Amino acid sequence: MLTNKQIAAKIDLLAKVMELHDENPFKIKTYANAYLSLRKLEGSLADMPIQEIATIKGIGSSTAEKIMELIQTGHMKALQHYQDITPAGVLEMLTIKGLGPKKVKQIWKEMEIETAGELLYACNENRLIHYSGFGTKVQADIKEKLEYFQASQGKYLYAHVHQAAEGFLHLLKNKYPNQQIELSGDIRRKMPEVKGIEILTDVSISISTLQDESLDLENNTYKSFPYFIETIPSASFISTWFSRSCSEDFLVAFEDVDLAAQDEATIFAAKGYPYIPAECRELKALIPAFNNPEFRLVSMEDIKGIVHNHSTYSDGLHTLQQMADYVHTHGYQYFVISDHSKSAGYAGGLKEDRLYEQWREIDHINAKYNDGFKVFKSIESDILIDGSLDYANEILQQFDLVIASIHSVLNMDIDKATSRLIKAIENPYTTILGHPTGRLLLARPGYAVDYLKVIDACAANGVAIELNANPQRLDLDWTWIPYAMEKDIMIAINPDAHSMVSIHYVKYGVDAARKGGLTTTNCLNALGVDAFSRWISQKK
């Protein structure tokens, strides 16, 4: 039986969705008022005849009928109609506190954002604050709510979970110092998406005795992420841990090995391999490379420069000087500033005069460093619908390098997307293809592309491909790295940083790149400043 509160909520929702669709404001007001009377009402609506419902202040015959329909059938046709013509993600936004119909309408119609995930991404890129009624506080508030919302959907970004996972592991190890307790499964393998914190142990853990305010016993979560503790006998710990920490494909290579070893290194040694870290245990075909003395799998220590960053010139949070200094003080050799280009109106893309201004500032900044550190002039140039870039050639040729990315009109079939990308790749001024599919993990899938054709085109034109290291992108997907390397393409692991701290996204890109076996030789920003400088100029 429906409660008054449940009925009132449906009427309230009706008012809100009608407002999204620009219905008569007085009708909307009526339903909003009806909601207010209903939630304060004494006596159960479900027990009232329709005549009595219609006598309630603010409820007339039309609303009374809708309430009866709801009580008798569980549905309301009028509400269903509006729900059918509204994207599910937009309806979801209405459930977020602080987002009412007016703001949601603005988000949907003005910003053209239709899912909670896209909205979160827009918050991270400071895109909301450019709209009237939205400021930094509202944006931060929405962001917090969305992260919570996303964190409750059953899948999580590795980047969001791993610190909590390590914290939880630490907590358990302190409590049971003499037992085997380790992270296992997807979280240990640093998969871009994980289901939570997987822990493998040989002790029966008594969670209720653990002292930590982040531990939510009722919901089995630690810092809002679900945990899964599997207890197994000590004797099978290593074999189970190893099996849980490899892909199916990778594990096939060890079918004939006795996994009951004293540690994982022994298992690898039985096949004549060196120890392979869990995040690299993906493709069986890559294993032999680990025995090649020339093979240098990329790692964070190899990263020499930070490519693809934004500043306050477009939609970044920090100034060019702040960003450059931050990268400099973290020991890198160079910084590539790639703000948005002029057609990216939503992100404050740079018109020509602002470009000149930025170039002058870059020259000024470069003159101040006396240790060889260099800021390179770049742009994240929008790939327009027809595949062209959005500046004239005489502008494009003045950049040190150009990153070409698709940002708008993402609804394309595979042929359209592929030819649009290839046209941009064939542009003589394109240096790097940015986030090739536009995907946002857990939010939107990205347009389909013919990877083989796109990678072949990059090879033919000497264009590097970005592995966008934003943990919500990780695009190029690592599974295409072996083919890209086969074609001897350079991969740039780029943070797409919109603030100083997001420079460190590079780490997640490196994790992903290692899955695909990317070597330092094929990592563009593993080149030192001079080699990088030479590489981009030979491309020009």
Partner DNA sequence: GCCGTTTTCGGCCCGACTGTTTTCAGTCG
User: Residue 176 is encoded by which pair of tokens?
Assistant: 């049971």
Please choose, out of 2-10, 59-67, 69-77, 519-527, the segment that lies near DNA by the rule CB under 7 A. 59-67
> Which of 134/268 has CB closer to DNA?
134
Among 77, 137, 351, 540, binds DNA (CB under 7 A): 137
In the complex, the smallest distance separating the C-beta of residue 19 from DNA, rounded to whole angstroms, is: 8
Question: Could you write out the DSSP letters of every residue in 230-277?
Answer: EE--GGGHHHHHHHHTS-HHHHHTTTTS----SSHHHHHHHTT-----
In the complex, the smallest distance separating the C-beta of residue 52 from DNA, rounded to whole angstroms, is: 13
64 binds DNA per the rule CB under 7 A = yes
> Which of 21/29 has CB closer to DNA?
29
> Which of 125/361 has CB closer to DNA?
125
In the complex, the smallest distance separating the C-beta of residue 144 from DNA, rounded to whole angstroms, is: 11
Q: Tell how strand 197-201 and strand 193-194 pair up.
A: unpaired
**CA-CA distance, 253 to 21, in Å (whole number)?**
58
502 binds DNA per the rule CB under 7 A = no
Which three-class secondary structure string do you get for 426-443?
HCCCCCEECCCCCCECCC
- Which contiguous run of DSSP H or E holds residue 77? helix 77-84
**CA-CA distance, 495 to 509, in Å (whole number)?**
8
Do the Cβ atoms of 492 and 143 come closer than 8 Å?
no
> Which of 133/177 has CB closer to DNA?
133
59 binds DNA per the rule CB under 7 A = yes
51 binds DNA per the rule CB under 7 A = no
> Which of 19/325 has CB closer to DNA?
19
Q: Residue-wise over 283-318: b if at least 16 C-beta within 10 A, else e?
A: bbebbeeeeeeeeebbbeebbbbbbbbbbbbbbbbb
H helices present in 41-76, as ranges: 50-53, 61-73
**CA-CA distance, 32 to 26, in Å (whole number)?**
10
In the complex, the smallest distance separating the C-beta of residue 148 from DNA, rounded to whole angstroms, is: 14
> Which of 97/211 has CB closer to DNA?
97
In the complex, the smallest distance separating the C-beta of residue 76 from DNA, rounded to whole angstroms, is: 13
Among 8, 10, 63, 400, binds DNA (CB under 7 A): 63
> Which of 120/491 has CB closer to DNA?
120
Among 82, 121, 134, 399, binds DNA (CB under 7 A): 134
> Using CB under 7 A as the criterion, what x/- string covers residues 17-36 for binding DNA?
-------x-xx-xx-x-x-x
**CA-CA distance, 391 to 384, in Å (whole number)?**
11
In the complex, the smallest distance separating the C-beta of residue 28 from DNA, rounded to whole angstroms, is: 9
> Which of 60/288 has CB closer to DNA?
60
How many positions of this chain bind DNA (CB under 7 A)? 34
**CA-CA distance, 289 to 286, in Å (whole number)?**
6
Among 74, 133, 154, 233, binds DNA (CB under 7 A): 133
- Cα–Cα separations (whole angstroms), residue 336 to 343, 403, 537: 20, 10, 14
In the complex, the smallest distance separating the C-beta of residue 146 from DNA, rounded to whole angstroms, is: 13
**What's the chain's Rg over C-alpha atoms?**
27
153 binds DNA per the rule CB under 7 A = no
Among 2, 9, 62, 322, binds DNA (CB under 7 A): 62
> Which of 62/243 has CB closer to DNA?
62
- Give the footprint of DNA on residues 93-132 (CB under 7 A): 97-104, 132
Give which of 412, 436, 416 is closest to 425, Cα–Cα. Answer: 436
**CA-CA distance, 265 to 311, in Å (whole number)?**
45
In the complex, the smallest distance separating the C-beta of residue 56 from DNA, rounded to whole angstroms, is: 7
In the complex, the smallest distance separating the C-beta of residue 78 from DNA, rounded to whole angstroms, is: 8
**CA-CA distance, 450 to 473, in Å (whole number)?**
18
> Which of 137/364 has CB closer to DNA?
137
Q: Residue-wise over 492-523: b if at least 16 C-beta within 10 A, else e?
A: bbbbbbbbbebbebbbbbbbbbbbbbbbbebb
Give which of 284, 324, 318 is closest to 306, Cα–Cα. Answer: 324
Give residues in contact with DNA (CB under 7 A): 24, 26-27, 29-30, 32, 34, 36, 56-64, 97-104, 132-139, 141
